[in-house]
Amino acid sequence: MKRTLIKNGQLITPEETLQVDLLIDSGKVARVGKGLTDTNAEVIDAAGKYILPGGIDPHVHLDLAMFDTVSSDDHYTGTKAAAFGGTTTVIDFVEDKDPDLLKNIADRRALADPKVAVDYSLHLNITHFNDYVAEQIPSVLESGVTTLKVFTAYNHRLRLQDGEIFQLMLIAAEYGLLTMMHAENGDVIEVLVEDALSAGHKKPIWHAHTRPAWGAVEAVLRGAALAAQAEAPLYIVHLNTAGGVDQLVYARDRGVPVMGETCPPYLFFTEEDLKRPDGAKWICSPPVRTAADNERIWQGLTDSSIQTIGTDHCPFFYDGTKAIEYEGKPVRIPGKELGKDDFTKIPNGLPGVGDRLPVLWTEGVVKGRITPNQFVAYTSANPARIFGLYPRKGCLEPGSDADLVIWDPDKKLTYGVAYSHQRTDYNLYEGWELQGFPEKVFLRGKLIVDGDQWLGKRGQGQFLEREPFAEVI
């Protein structure tokens, strides 16, 4: 692989912004410094641009079966969209369909490896717990997977009981695995859904009404309490309520090793969007909340109370009866129209893996809510540290993978489907005016996105084996 020298850019790290040059050799960052020269390297002038470590999205769902369909992005289309948005690593999820946990991981890799266009890793869902599962958990490390996801919602499908979660946390702590939690109250949801359907309430807004915010608030604190008692680290996924952030802060202030992730929709959208004629577009779990919740989550980012921003990317067509064109071919996949007469049948999930960095730059950095350094921390460095990928990923230091984005802070565009490259028929940010966008994206030193040109290919991504006992930040 040829060497590449990036000159005159400003490198953004979580701590500082530096005017430096970067030399890339054999897919790695070889040197970082001022006034670098190399007569055998291709030189790229990044004057007036920022150099960012490639984004790491710690929470995506690709090729996920749900209800009578499947998420519209598979491991190729979703990772291609990630690349166009400046993200070079994603972490997907493994369902525990088989009692053999290692088989489930192997099956997921067999599906993903031939398709992925950026590097990736996996989290393992644990939705059944018994002695056999408990005995297998230490062996999960053999696969390079170090994270276990549990649910306090989705009764009779995904949920574990508190005692089971506690037992899992004890094992995870002993072997250096990190427990992740979807925090809602499944019992309350079950009662409210049954009541709503009995009363004939079937519109999208009832998805939010039957998953009340207090259930999420309570479940975050309950998860933190279990983590405290197990002396085990915990990562709360997709924080969506003001109270959830408050409980995260409460626990962390008392020394509990708990960390929190939020997602862009929880910063911008509310239950009012579910009342729109196309409200199904905003159906996700947990649901978007209120403007006050949006503001508290932003505050949690401004003051660094929250540790990461993922996407929970899980897109579906809004109208899957109509085909869209993708890479020159028509694609039609059943989508949210499946629940047009019943909110409980609307596939839960939103597109976002390609939107995250451009939207957050405009709404966060340009508008002064977070600094460029915090932006890099939330979208790259912190996920790398928490999930055992640092310093291979999440930074641009000698020896790190040369995953990087040359970012044009002055580029302005009207955003939407045309730019996101997500394989679905809508975009949550359609028509938004953005400032700041990826100009070039490199994966392990290879230029894979150059403006609007796709230079990458299916299967070029690598599976990332991770180390246990990662940082709690």
CA 203 to chain centre: 28
Could you state, in order of their start, the residue ranges of all structural domains in the chain?
A: 55-386
Say how far apart CA 98 and CA 133 lie, in whole Å.
11
Closest CA to 313 of 118, 452, 99, 466: 118
- pLDDT at res. 53: 98
According to DSSP, the residues that pair with 43 across neighbouring strands are 5
Going from the C-alpha of 373 to that of each of 18, 69, 440, the distances in angstroms are: 11, 40, 20
Say how far apart CA 56 and CA 377 lie, in whole Å.
10
Supply the DSSP string of 113-153, one letter for each residue: TTT-SSEEEEEEE----SHHHHHHGGGGGGGT--EEEEESS
Query: Hunting for tokens 């932003």 — which residue is that?
Result: 298
The angle formed by the CA atoms of residues 135, 259 and 308, to the nearest 5 degrees, is 115
Helix (H) or strand (E) segment spanning residue 433: strand 433-443
User: Three-state SS for 287?
Assistant: coil
Instruction: Give 400-441 pLDDT, tens digit per residue.
Output: 999 999 999 999 999 999 899 999 999 999 999 999 999 999
Say how far apart CA 429 and CA 361 lie, in whole Å.
13
Which residues, at least 6 apart from 338, have a Cβ–Cβ distance to it below 8 Å?
67, 68, 69, 320, 345, 346, 347
Tokens at residue 25, please? 């050799």
Say how far apart CA 6 and CA 9 lie, in whole Å.
7
Contact 358, 85 (CB under 8 A): yes
Closest CA to 144 of 380, 401, 462: 462
- pLDDT at res. 471: 97
Tokens at residue 182, please? 């979807």
Instruction: Give 378-405 pLDDT, tens digit per residue.
Output: 999 999 999 999 999 999 999 999 999 9
Say how far apart CA 79 and CA 421 lie, in whole Å.
10
Instruction: Give 97-115 pLDDT, tens digit per residue.
Output: 999 999 999 999 999 999 9
Say how far apart CA 423 and CA 401 lie, in whole Å.
28
pLDDT band, residue 1 (cuts 50/70/90): confident
Dihedral sign, Cα of residue 367, residue 405, residue 377, residue 353: positive
pLDDT band, residue 364 (cuts 50/70/90): very high
Instruction: Give 198-219 pLDDT, tens digit per residue.
Output: 999 999 999 999 999 999 999 9
Tokens at residue 201, please? 């309430």
Contact 317, 424 (CB under 8 A): yes
Instruction: Give 75-86 pLDDT, tens digit per residue.
Output: 999 999 999 999
Instruction: Give 346-359 pLDDT, tens digit per residue.
Output: 999 999 999 999 99
Instruction: Give 45-76 pLDDT, tens digit per residue.
Output: 999 999 999 999 999 999 999 999 999 999 99
Q: Is the pLDDT of residue 376 over 80?
A: yes
DSSP character at residue 233? -
Average pLDDT over residues 124-143: 97
- pLDDT at res. 160: 97
pLDDT band, residue 254 (cuts 50/70/90): very high
Supply the DSSP string of 379-406, one letter for each residue: IIIHHHHHTT-TTTSSS-STTSB--EEE
DSSP character at residue 375? H
The angle formed by the CA atoms of residues 19, 23 and 27, to the nearest 5 degrees, is 130
- pLDDT at res. 175: 98
Burial class (CB in 10 A: 0-12, 13-18, 19+), 428: buried
- pLDDT at res. 2: 85
Say how far apart CA 316 and CA 348 lie, in whole Å.
8
Instruction: Give 167-194 pLDDT, tens digit per residue.
Output: 999 999 999 999 999 999 999 999 999 9
The dihedrals phi and psi of 398, each to the nearest 5 degrees, come to -50, 125
Residue type, 332: R
Q: How many residues does the chain have?
A: 473
What does the mean pLDDT of the chain come to?
97
- pLDDT at res. 226: 98
Average pLDDT over residues 135-159: 97
Tokens at residue 291, please? 């403007």
Q: What is the dihedral of CA 189, 160, 471, 378, to 10 degrees?
A: -20
User: Three-state SS for 296?
Assistant: helix
Q: Please, what CATH class does the domain formed by 55-386 belong to? A: alpha beta
User: Three-state SS for 457?
Assistant: coil
Residue 453: how many other CB atoms lie within 10 Å: 10
Closest CA to 362 of 88, 85, 78, 87: 85
